[in-house]
Amino acid sequence: MSKNKWTFWIDCGGTFTDIVAINDSGEHRVHKLLSHSSHYESAVVQGISDIVGHTDFKSSVAEVRLGTTVATNAFLERSGVECALITTLGHKDLLGIRNQSRPDLFELDINKTPPLYSFVTHIKGRMDSKGEEVVELDEEIARFELQRILDRGIKSVAISLMHSTVNPAHELKVWEIAKDMGFSYISLSHQVSPIAKYIPRTETAVIDAYLSPYLRQYTEYLENKLQIPNIYYMQSDGGLCSGSELKGYNALLSGPAGGLIGAIDVARSMGHSKLITFDMGGTSTDVAIYDQELSIDPSPDFYGLKLLCPMVDIHTVAAGGGSILKYDNGRFQVGPESAGSTPGPACYRNGGPLTVTDANLYLDRLEADKFPHIFGPNQDRPLDLEIVDKKFKELEDKVGMPAKEIAQGFLDVAVESMSRAIRKVSIERGQDPKDFCLVSFGGAAGQLALKVAQTLSMSEVIIHPLSSVLSAYGIGKAQHQMSFQGRSESDFKELESKAKENFPFKNPTLHKHYLLKAKGSDHEVEISADDQEKAFEKFRNYHQKTFGHPAKEIECEAVKLQITSKDFKELQIHADSKEIEGPSIISENNTSIVVESGWQGQRQDDGLWVLRSHNANSTQKRDPKIELEIFYQRFQFIAEQMGTTLQRLAASINIKERNDFSCALFTRDCELIANAPHIPVHLGSMDRAVRAVNETCDVSPGESYILNSPVCGGTHLPDVTIITPVFSEDEVIMWVASRGHHADIGGIAHGSMPGNSKSLKEEGVVITPTKIFANGELDLPLLKKILQDSTYPVRNFDMNLHDIEAKISANHKGVSEIIQLAKQYGAQYLEQMSERILDYTHQKIVSILNEFKSSETEKVINSKRKLKVKMQREGEKTVFDFTGSSGLLGTNFNAPVPVVQASVMFSLRSMIEENIPLNSGLMRAIELKVPQDSMLNPGEDSPVVAGNVETSQAICDLIFQAMGVKANSYGSMNNLSFGNDEFQYYETICGGSGATASAHGASAVQVNMTNSLLTDPEVFETRLPVRIELMGIRHGSGGAGMNHGGNGVYRKLLFLSDVKINMITQSREVPPSGIKGGAKAQRGMNLLEVDGEWVELPECFEKEISANTRLCVCTPGGGGYGEGKDETKHLVFGFGSNMDLAQIKKRCPSSELVRRGTVNDREIRYTRYSPVRKGGVADMYNAPGHYVYGLVVSMNDEDLTFLDDIECAQNGYQRIETKAFDDNGEEFICHSYDVIDKKPDIAPTKVYEWLVYSGAYNLGANQNYLDRLQLAGHVR
């Protein structure tokens, strides 16, 4: 046996596997190989074998520490273990809906990330927000649902039940049953995370069930191949664990976490405790900040999924060495597309495009002769300088600049993108990048690290000799770590006992962590401290530094005990000391470091390069063509910083959690130039509000103005705007504005969204432009007078005050950033660049409109409202003429002109595929003709609250319809507000998106002029006396066609206290239409429970209801696009167990859901004993005045014959014809199955009754119907 054993530190990435190996003699080796090759099974095993020279690893390998992308790759490639999800009844569509927002605001074809599970179901049993059992867990039904999962061959399951973090009894019981039944992997949501957020906790549990068994296969494979005991894996939170402890959700940032740990080790060796990491690879760049302790994100967003698992807080930007360079109409763009490894950059000789790497090569920032001859089809050629030269020179005529300047311009844009990422992780935390050193690593980082540092006024850059494999190095420096979670400080004693019992390493250290937030906030921070009092103090300091004021009240959401042990080998590197002055290039250790002019480099005797700037603050003016993209990014970043400040400081749910706010920058002439896009209806209208202040107020530095009046650029009264001028040398150079929806601005209705307002003042307090802040102080007496001295004053002054103060702070953030830019570049230059950005957007929309032919379209909203638009070219402009739309309305569906403008801007921006700015440049090519005193141009006192939220949606549908690009979406924001003297709440509810020529419509998603979020179900029920009984997809509500429309949702609420409800909706009378032959969708319905039955209410209503009353909002689907396939299919009405979509699809693979239907004058009775079901089976029994809910499905001849065999031959039914009616009232002639020999009432089995009951439940059936189902099997 060898006495000189090796320890391996390995980062197995997506393309390359990096290895650092150290033996007992102190010798080290660095090795890099492809992660995937036809020449070996495992890069890890091959790499170790390459170094030790054999495969007898027991004799030569002491330890392996590994970071791997196995979990990430399995997630991205959807190659994890097939798993299922079990939820509480009424919530099985939880991950199909999530928070209802769409990922890309302007994408016509909305792409939602699908859930990872293969099958989802639900069980009977319910806890409330206090952990009290309101519905007993039915163990027989739980066992049945688990068996259905096993019958599908699925043996990994996630169990996530409402409020299980408060009382996990139901989850634990289902776990016992599942374990007894032989499931191989069971994930319980309350064990995955103790935090009461149902959506992300469920998402994390599913990832656990999907990836953890897959990872276990991988770890067992390695253990079998290496035959050594000491194999440890890097986790996303920066610690090592054994293979048996590795969870899928803790391995998603395995490699990047290693890089951060390595960078921290490097900086500490230099005596630094404040550092920013810069890890630049081929497709992206990762950045992170470290200020004396590791920054952990407790609820990271991973590829569009919100999770509850701690990860190192790393921000990624799509700009790397392989990012593609594009020049478009005066705009230099870098990425987000990447050339990848194939074809790779142009210089790789595989026909690739120009990339950042090519620009560096062309500008002699890379030494081509230092690269191996591995390029071209045969992988035997050097880098191709000629093709790079040719491609850049081809751009000279197009751009009108020398080729070298073009290449430099692209690099400057790339540097700006990377610098913006660093600003995000630092400035958002109240930190200044210049107070930190930059630790650079990754294959391409050295090429641009100093430029990035210079842009950020950072004066020191550190580069380790192993920078090209620093993630592997960091994995070697990580500590062994296990975490145990609880809900409060009182849990630490139990957690400590668990930790000591389970942690196998010597000399452990215990660390307490507290997940804290300000009361009423949703912004959580993980704080490490010895006790809760010290944690609270650290949180107050953090809050003061980040937001400018301390947190008044602090809440502890969860606690974590971390047990760690440091045990790693020291790696000694020796090198000759050396100094170098820029400009120059250092090529060593498989990386290139470009030393910029004004920088000095020193190599220490441990091989570490320390590069310092003589003058890091460098402001240079480039060709305006290059500056266009750079200034667009800088303006955009300022708007985003404003948005972050507003969201964190606001008190209301609407702004903090639902994202119902927007922040923007405007030119001196009040044109929108940049924005933080959340709510399109805000962004397209705020310029008129800024113009109103500019024209009516004598502004001075340091002042802010408040308004909400629709006559002055407001949309509707709840959208309150704060506007602040930006001064330089006593002149206004720009403006900033923040607008957010207030849940209470007075008026006749709780939530300030009355369904029946007849005048503007009934909708709330009307505010014309008024100075509200000056000389560093808010004019509190004036604000109280505005909000409280009114016919219908606000009900919650303090909430309004908090949100207004948050907007003022957000504006001040924007002002300070713009002033800093003006000092660097001059106010005149900012104005020049603003004009270039506006002109770029103008030219892009002109190119779209040049291809457009005249069109005239009408949209009938209902019998009292219609919209009409005629679009035609007149000279240089396209005219949108709304003549012919309905006149001034007596209802509140009137839309002010700013709302019309916002809707037109959004629609046009959505027509442009490229990621261009949404700004006033869009309107330079547009002329609006809106007749006076019409529903689109109302008078001063006209009610408008619904016009902003509803008519705006209809205008977008109208324009898409006129341009022939998209069927109508659900056409409403489905506004629901409710409250009493103790609380007010407002939400908008998603629906189905219209289909296009290229895609089906998305289901359960926000569209057009809104993208506000739904409050998490557990947070909702904890804060409000309301229970969400059903939040499910309204299957079949989208219109049919070549591409079908998306489906709406059912949202059924049980109110537990007396409240007043207001609803503002549309698409209740006339359903959303299809285009190009596509079918219309199902209309929406507002259903209120009266004596256990649904009573349909009008599109707008106000209603006082008593406790224990239910409301069900059925939102519309989207219209279909194009004519569907002309194929003969049979329609079948399923009313019993065939309402179960999984069952009918399994029985009849060709079946497609058409829509929900009802059959009149029938009721469900159990009229025949089935030897198959071992109990009574459902039948539609004659019952005048009653009705039966069911699903209409279509299927082919073969499947109908098969279904006949099941229902008729095996269960005693006969197939008959039945009339079913959909929610639009349209008649369908369907097949259905009728019991031949009826003998009511034969008790069904509990399981069969559950299938019928849960099927009706998920169709939004009323309480009487559900109660009758449970009585149907009993003798009457």
Cβ atoms of residues 735 and 691 within 8 Å: no
Q: Which two tokens stand for residue 475?
A: 């994995």
Quote the pLDDT of residue 718: 92
Q: How far apart are the first and last CA of the chain?
A: 83
pLDDT tier, 678 (very low <50, low <70, confident <90, very high otherwise) = low
Rounded to the nearest 5 percent, the helix, strand and coil shares of the chain are 35, 30, 40
pLDDT-based confidence at residue 137 (cuts at 50, 70, 90): very high
CA distances, 417 to each of 410, 411, 455 (Å): 11, 10, 11
Tens digit of each residue's pLDDT (9 = 90 or more) over 1045-1085: 999 999 999 999 999 999 999 999 999 999 999 999 999 99
Local structure of 81: helix, strand or coil: coil
Per-residue confidence (pLDDT) for residue 1258, from 0 to 100: 96
pLDDT of res. 684: 73
DSSP string, 1106-1156: -TTEEEEEE---PPPBS-------EEEEE-SGGG-HHHHHHH-TT-EEEEE
- Percentage, residues of the chain above pLDDT 70: 98
**CA atoms of 253 and 279, how far apart (whole Å):** 14
Q: Residue 1125: how many CB atoms within 10 A of its CB? A: 8
- CA 1003 to CA 108: how far, in whole Å? 13
SS3 state of residue 142: helix
CA distance 279 to 259: 8
Question: For the residues 702-713, what does the mean pLDDT come to?
Answer: 94
User: Does residue 1 register a pLDDT over 50?
Assistant: no
Q: How confident is the model at residue 696 (pLDDT cuts 50, 70, 90)?
A: very high
Say whether pLDDT at 1094 is over 70. yes
The string of pLDDT tens digits covering residues 576-616 is 899 999 899 888 877 888 999 889 999 999 989 999 998 65
- Please give the angle made by the CA atoms of 1073, 1076 and 1080, to the nearest 5 degrees: 20
Q: Write down the residue that tokens 């070697």 correspond to.
A: 476
Domains of the chain: 75-231 (3.40.50), 479-565 (no CATH), 624-823 (no CATH), 966-1123 (no CATH), 1130-1271 (3.10.490.10)
Sign of CA dihedral 243, 244, 248, 254: negative
Q: What is the pLDDT of residue 1141?
A: 84
Q: What is the pLDDT of residues 1106-1159, one digit of tens each?
A: 999 999 999 999 999 999 887 778 999 999 888 888 888 889 999 999 999 999
- Beta pairing class for 301-302 and 126-127: unpaired
What pLDDT is attached to residue 1274? Answer: 63
In angstroms, rounded to a whole number, what is the distance separating the alpha carbons of residues 388 and 366? 13
547 pLDDT tier (thresholds 50, 70, 90): low
Indicate the pLDDT class of residue 618, thresholds 50, 70 and 90.
low
Quick count: other Cβ atoms within 10 Å of Cβ 480?
21
Find, among 283, 379, 281, the residue nearest to 339 by Cα: 283
Strand partners, 1219: 1229
Instruction: Find, among 818, 806, 772, the residue nearest to 654 by Cα.
Output: 806
pLDDT score of 1243: 92
Rg, Å, the chain Cα set: 32
Cis peptide before 583 (omega within 30 of 0): yes
Q: Is residue 886 scored above 90 in pLDDT?
A: yes
Give 548's pLDDT tier (boundaries 50, 70, 90). low
**H helix or E strand, kind and range, residue 647:** helix 624-649
State the average pLDDT over residues 682-698: 90
Q: What is the DSSP string of 1022-1048?
A: HHSSEEEEEEEEETT-SPPSSBPPPPE
pLDDT at residue 1018 in the model: 96
Residue 95 backbone phi and psi in degrees, to 5 = -85, -5
- Is 509 buried (19+), middle (13-18) or exposed (0-12) by CB count in 10 A? exposed
CB 1062 within 8 A of CB 751: yes
Q: pLDDT > 90: what percent of the chain?
A: 63
- DSSP for residue 520: T
pLDDT band at residue 752, thresholds of 50, 70 and 90? Answer: confident
Q: Express each pLDDT in 164-185 by its tens digit.
A: 999 999 999 999 999 999 999 9
Give the pTM: 0.91
Residue 368 CB contacts under 8 Å (≥ 6 apart), including other chains: 361, 382, 383, 385
Band the pLDDT of 162: cuts 50, 70, 90: very high
Residue 2: the pLDDT is: 55
pLDDT in tens, 709-729: 999 998 889 999 999 999 998
- Going by pLDDT thresholds of 50, 70 and 90, the confidence category of residue 1276 is very low
Which comes out higher in pLDDT, residue 285 or 651?
285
Average pLDDT, rounded, for the chain:
91
- Sorting pLDDT into bands at 50, 70 and 90, what band is 1271? confident
CB atoms within 10 A of CB 243: 17
Q: What phi, psi does 192 have (nearest 5°)?
A: -65, -40
Among 239-243, 875-879, 1202-1206, the minimum mean pLDDT is found in 875-879
- Which tens digit of pLDDT belongs to each residue from 779-812? 999 999 999 999 999 998 988 998 999 999 999 9
